[in-house]
Amino acid sequence: MIAALLLAASLAPPAPSAAPARTSVGKTLAVTESVPGNVVAVFSDVEIDAPVSGNVIVWGGDVRFGPRGIVAGSLSVFGGEILSMDRPLPVRGTVSTPGALLRLYLEEMHRAPWDASSRGAAARGLRIVALSMWLLLSLLLLYFFGSSFARAAVSAEEDWSGALFAGALGVLSLFLAAAAALTLLPPSLSMPLAILFGAVAVAAKVFGMAAIFLLLGQKILQNVAPARRPLALAAGFATLAAVSLLPVLGVIVWSVASVVAVGIAFQSRFGTPRMKVAVHA
């Protein structure tokens, strides 16, 4: 994979000189003078207090408007928020906040997205709805790939530390590979590659989390019979979900479980059997 990335990077054309007019990585970006092009920020907050003639695209940061701030193009905020203001958004194009379900939900319910009491209740409710989706998805996967999850659970039980280590290294490797692809390859190559790495990480997490639910439930019920798998999965899920709702500790536990989940998926090769049957003619 590394050799392929190096080869592709060496063959790729250099980065175009027409870079976005204002960019920032990891530092708050304050727009106080007119910007003729786009504003792009990664892991940075953006404060717009001057006209921007292009688009504003923010990854992993919040956007705040000052009294002179106006965007002629579109505003896209990935994994962040558009912070409160007491006037309509001064954006001529479209405004999108992919991944920010809470703001859209509050808008649909005709509630002010910045109302703290509404946000708290709605966020808790949406979290529980998301957890119910987790359980339903895990049950569906268990229904169609029952023995794969059982094998993955056995594998995890035999080597917890190995699963944690494999998960940490797996997440790190995928992150580094995506970062290398994004920074060294042209968009036509880097985008599909980054999406592929992301998809592998998501698939591994979903598979591994269901295996953790199953293993935890089997421990709670002290029964590993296939007929008890759905109940065991629900019991394990209920335990982990309840912990995940605790402040601070819940986030830590769920994050560690996610890393272990990726490790379980890689370690068990998504629950494929360890031995293959040789076919002799």
Partner 1 sequence: MTDCVRPLDPIDCEALAASDAPVFASDAAAHAAGCPACAGAVESARALLTELEGVLEAPGRAHGSDGPDPDLSSRVIRIRPFSRRELRSPALWAGPVAFSGVLFAAGALIAGAPALSAREQAGLGLAAAAPLVGLFRAAWRALADGLTAAPGGWHALSEVARSESLVGVAALLLLAPAGFALSRVLARSRRRG
Site for partner 1 in 195-214 (CB under 8 A): none
Q: Is the dihedral of CA 165, 171, 176, 181 positive or negative?
A: positive
Strands (E) located in 113-188: none
Site for partner 1 in 127-146 (CB under 8 A): 127-133, 135-136, 139, 143, 146
How many positions of this chain bind partner 1 (CB under 8 A)? 96
| Comparison of 68 and 143: residue with beta carbon closer to partner 1 | 143
CB of 165 to partner 1, least distance (A): 5
Least CB distance to partner 1 at residue 215 (A): 10
Per-residue x/- marks for partner 1, 91-110, CB under 8 A?
---x-xxxxxx--xx-xxxx
Residue 230 found at the interface with partner 1 (CB under 8 A): yes
Inter-axis angle of helices 249-267 and 160-184, nearest 10: 90
Site string for partner 1, 44-83 (x = CB under 8 A): -----------x-x-x--------------x-x-x-----
Q: Phi and psi dihedrals of 71, rounded to 5? A: -120, 120
- The nearer residue to partner 1, 92 or 143, going by C-beta atoms, is 143
Instruction: Work out the angle at residue 90's Cα, subtended by the Cα atoms of residues 87 and 93, and round it to the nearest 5 degrees.
Output: 140
Contact 54, 75 (CB under 8 A): no
Contact 106, 122 (CB under 8 A): yes
